[in-house]
Amino acid sequence: MKEIGNGFKKIFRNDKDFLVLMIVLFLFGMALSIHSFLNLKVVNSSMYIGYSDIGEFSGGEFLSLWNSGGYRTGGWADILFFAVFGMILAVFHNFFAVQVYNRKGKGFAQIFVIISIMVAMIAFIFLLRLLGKI
């Protein structure tokens, strides 16, 4: 744990651009988490929780595959995945980024954080799509 603290100090002193990337990752992760909590409708017993090309089958026979695909429904607790995922991205990925920074250098750590930011953006777009915002 002391190594992570020293890594944060080193990044804060020496690499302001990498620190900005870490802050952006933290903000995207927290935005995903907060937005999913605020739009969680506990009173709904069923809501959209996912989308795929396969989706739900309407008849259970092979000929019913032509109208398969689309949104999957489930319980409201399944949307909590986005909140937990956002917190993991916001907190733990920054800790992992510091570890990568200490062991492999700034280049690998920047790639890791940029990929994490893209994952957070894609998850946020999926959440907005499931909630019917876009």
pLDDT tens digits, one per residue of 40-84? 776 656 666 666 655 454 444 444 444 455 666 666 677 788 888
Q: How far apart are CA 102 and CA 14, in angstroms?
A: 13
Task: Give per-residue pLDDT as tens, 82-94.
Answer: 888 889 989 999 9
- pLDDT exceeds 80 at position 130: no
For range 14-20, the mean pLDDT: 90
Q: How far apart are CA 83 and CA 55, in angstroms?
A: 23
Q: Which residue is associated with the tokens 């429904």?
A: 73
* 63: amino acid identity, one letter: L
Q: Where are the beta strands (DSSP E) in the chain?
A: 47-52, 70-74
Q: What three-state secondary structure class fits 80?
A: helix
